[in-house]
Amino acid sequence: MRRLTSATTIVALALLAGCRVADPTEINWAAVREADVSCLGKANVVTEEYYDLNGDGSDEVFLVMKCASKNDPPGHQLEIIAGGTDPETAHPTKRVLQIPGPPVIDRMHFARRTATYRVSIAGKARMWQVRWSEGAAKPGPATPCPATGCP
C-alpha cells in the first residue's frame, strides 16, 4: 500500500511539473511570437514589459515588436498576452498594428488596471490607454487619453 501511495504521489508531481507555465521573463518572445507578427522574415522584440493588469496574480506580457528586414512593414506592433497562458498557444490582443504607420510605441506605464503608452506616427504623438476589467478574459479597446492626461 505504501508503494502505491508513493507511486501515485510521484505521478501526480510529474504531471503537475509538466503543466507548469514558464516564467514570462525567461521566454524568447521573438521566437515564440514571430510567426504571428506581420513580417516576412525575422521579428525583434523592441521592449517587453510585465504587469498584472487584470489583478489575477499573473503578470500580463506587453510586447512591442518590429520586423528585422527592411523589406517588411516598418514600425512597431503592440501585443498584450494574458498572464499565465501558454506562450506557444497564446492568442494576444493586438493594440497597435504596423500599418498605416509606421508607428513607434514607447513610454509604457501601468497603474490601476490601466496601461498607457505613446504612439508616434510621422512625428505626431498621442497617448493611448488600455483598461482591463476585473474578471475579463481580454483587455478593453484602446482609447485615446483625454487632453487632461491619462490616469
pLDDT given for residue 23 in this prediction? 84
Tell me, what's the pLDDT at 14? Answer: 36
Q: Which residues contact 108 (CB under 8 A, 6 or more apart)?
A: 47, 49, 62, 64, 115, 116, 117
pLDDT value for 1: 44
Block mean pLDDT (10 aa), the chain, length 151: 39 42 82 78 90 90 89 86 88 74 87 90 89 86 83 62
In 10 A of CB 141, how many CB atoms? 11
| Predicted local distance difference test score (pLDDT) of residue 99 | 60
In angstroms, the CA 115 to CA 56 distance is: 16
Q: What is the enclosing helix (H) or strand (E) of 17?
A: helix 2-18
Q: Which of 37, 77, 83, 78 is nearest to 57 (CA)?
A: 83
